[in-house]
């Protein structure tokens, strides 16, 4: 670890780039103040990577690739399993560091983010020597087998909303498959990714296999996308930036994985278990302050139950405990930056301008102890299907409410956006559940639950929500190249040009 460490909340804070197995300053010496969104105080001045720093990270990753990709798959897996153990051994520190940098309530970072991070590395550690090739039945006399080879150096760009967990989602399959990594966390939430890099070094992952370079998207990010020695780029973020990534990656025809925005439809039918649907719907939108691409940000209610459901939903939403994310009683912390808080509040003005009815929220909380932070109250808006707030990703504790009369209308409303990432439905009717799940255009669909994830289940979307998948066997396939090898066992070869 770099010698220059800040002491904040009793946490060691990494403040350097991680390149070639070492913590180093940026070449131009630039730093960026990383802030605590609870009060906008400075946590640390962290080195800010430029395109030149990305270049040296790629050199390190390229040099490490032959050794890492040729290492026995079981050995790569063993190191990832050791990393999962190290994450669990340092769970409290990682949870506090994530809470400090992102504003996630400590109850969530301890109970969800850190365990899911360890579980993802453990899953792919176990998969490393179990991701098999295949034999293709071809004509007699030949053996045709297919292997899956590492792509090479992969560039990975992680957003600010779940930086710890998404680091494992990106790195886990890439490393298990034998690739080396240049990862750019968001410049506003880089701390846990850098700490994970240190743990990787401690468990014996060779120098250069992983490189972490926090920097701005229009500098370090663009260089990752366009670098000729990066063979694949995996990006999680907004749809607008995803389009730029796809265009920039064409410079060397690198493979691209995009996990982009969402506008999750959360449909409650008249026969739903209302208590279960109520709790699940509140979690779907207000967990992590609504800063999730899969958030259930469109609450679509059958007209027979709508009024009663909204009354109960509002009653509970008003009681959500907003406050210091280090307080174990806090249920909703701050948004992750002042810029994003202002963006979410601006959508409240958009709702009013388009005739939407703000049922609760729409403003920062009045509590003086929260005045310096990035807080927004839980916000519920009655809106029409094609209003901007029902179409555009707000990415905050902001949910729209609409109603439907028939199953067909519910499906039509659910599909009435450009996005197709996650969605949910609540019903006791098994036939309706499967039928509706088939008809909703979404990469993930939850029935009588919401926002469930697992390392073995593919995560990703369609349409403006991107393409490709995180997690599971799908992720391993997307971090490898299939190679067909033909062997002549005992076949006669026609002598077309015999002399």
Which residue shows structure tokens 């997690």? 471
Token pair recorded at residue 79:
């190191």
Longest dimension (CA), the chain: 94
Cβ neighbours for 308, distance < 8 A, ≥ 6 positions apart: 274
Decide if 383 contacts 402 (C-beta within 8 A).
yes
Decide if 65 contacts 180 (C-beta within 8 A).
yes
Q: What whole-number distance in Å separates Cα of residue 29 and Cα of residue 345?
A: 35
Cβ neighbours for 261, distance < 8 A, ≥ 6 positions apart: 238, 239, 293, 393, 395, 419, 421, 464, 465
- Cα atoms in the 13 Å half-sphere on the side-chain side of 338: 10
Paired strand residues for 46: 32
Instruction: State how far Cα 412 lies from the chain centre.
Output: 27
Q: What whole-number distance in Å separates Cα of residue 347 and Cα of residue 327?
A: 29
3-class DSSP state of 42: strand
Paired strand residues for 446: 424
For 232-330, where are the alpha helices, taking DSSP H only? Answer: 239-248, 274-286, 306-317
Decide if 32 contacts 187 (C-beta within 8 A).
yes
Task: Give the C-alpha distances (Å, rounded to integers) separating 5 from 137, 197, 213, 274.
Answer: 59, 15, 17, 50
> Within 10 A of 412 (CB to CB), how many other CB atoms are there?
13
Q: What whole-number distance in Å separates Cα of residue 438 and Cα of residue 415?
A: 12
Of the candidates 370, 141, 409, 65, which has an alpha carbon nearest to the alpha carbon of residue 265?
Answer: 409
Q: Where are the beta strands (DSSP E) in 137-276?
A: 142-150, 153-157, 180-184, 210-212, 232-236, 255-259, 265-268
The length of the chain is 499
Is residue 430 within a helix (H) or strand (E), and if so which, with residue range?
helix 430-439
Q: Which residues are catalytic?
A: 259, 293
Of the candidates 286, 232, 277, 204, which has an alpha carbon nearest to the alpha carbon of residue 424?
Answer: 277
């Amino acid at each position: 670890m770099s010698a220059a460490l800040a002491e904040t909340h009793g946490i060691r804070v990494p403040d350097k780039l991680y390149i070639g197995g070492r913590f180093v300053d940026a070449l131009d010496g630039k730093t960026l103040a990383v802030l605590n969104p609870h009060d906008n105080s400075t946590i640390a001045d962290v080195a800010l990577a430029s395109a030149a720093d990305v270049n040296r990270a790629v050199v390190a990753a390229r040099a490490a690739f032959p050794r890492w990709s040729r290492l026995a798959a079981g050995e790569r897996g063993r190191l990832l399993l050791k990393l999962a153990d190290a994450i669990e051994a340092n769970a409290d520190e990682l949870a506090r560091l994530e809470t400090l940098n992102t504003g996630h309530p400590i109850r969530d970072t301890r109970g969800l983010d850190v365990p899911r991070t360890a579980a993802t590395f453990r899953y792919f550690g176990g998969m490393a020597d179990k991701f098999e090739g295949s034999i293709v039945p071809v004509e007699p006399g030949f053996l045709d087998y297919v292997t899956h080879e590492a792509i090479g150096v992969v560039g990975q760009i992680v957003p600010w909303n779940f930086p710890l967990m998404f680091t494992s989602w990106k790195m886990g399959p890439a490393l298990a498959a034998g690739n080396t990594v240049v990862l750019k966390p968001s410049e506003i939430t880089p701390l846990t990714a850098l700490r994970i890099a240190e743990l990787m070094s401690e468990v014996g992952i060779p120098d250069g296999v992983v490189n972490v370079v926090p920097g701005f998207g229009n500098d370090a990010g663009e260089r990752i996308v366009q670098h000729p020695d990066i063979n694949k780029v995996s990006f999680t973020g907004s749809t607008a930036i995803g389009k730029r990534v796809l265009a920039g990656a064409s410079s060397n025809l690198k493979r691209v994985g995009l996990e982009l925005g969402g506008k999750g439809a959360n449909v409650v039918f008249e026969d739903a278990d209302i208590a279960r649907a109520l709790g699940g719907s509140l979690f779907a939108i207000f967990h992590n302050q609504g800063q999730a691409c899969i958030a259930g940000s469109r609450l679509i209610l059958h007209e027979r139950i709508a009024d009663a459901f909204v009354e109960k939903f509002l009653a509970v939403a008003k009681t959500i405990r907003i406050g210091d994310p280090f307080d174990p009683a806090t249920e909703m912390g701050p948004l992750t930056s002042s810029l994003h808080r202002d963006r979410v509040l601006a959508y409240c003005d958009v709702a009013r301008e388009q005739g939407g009815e703000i049922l609760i929220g729409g403003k920062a909380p009045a509590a003086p102890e929260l005045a310096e932070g990035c807080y927004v109250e839980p916000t519920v808006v009655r809106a029409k299907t094609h209003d901007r707030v029902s179409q555009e990703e707000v990415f905050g504790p902001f949910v729209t409410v609409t109603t439907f009369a028939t199953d067909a209308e519910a499906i039509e409303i659910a599909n009435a956006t450009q996005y197709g990432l996650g969605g949910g439905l609540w019903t006791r009717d098994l036939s309706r559940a499967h039928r509706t799940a088939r008809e909703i255009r979404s990469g993930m669909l939850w029935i009588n639950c919401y926002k469930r994830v697992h390392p073995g289940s593919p995560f990703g979307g369609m349409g403006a929500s991107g393409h490709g998948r995180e997690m599971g066997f799908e992720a391993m396939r997307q971090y490898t190249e299939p190679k067909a090898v033909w062997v002549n066992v005992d076949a006669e070869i026609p002598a077309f040009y015999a002399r």
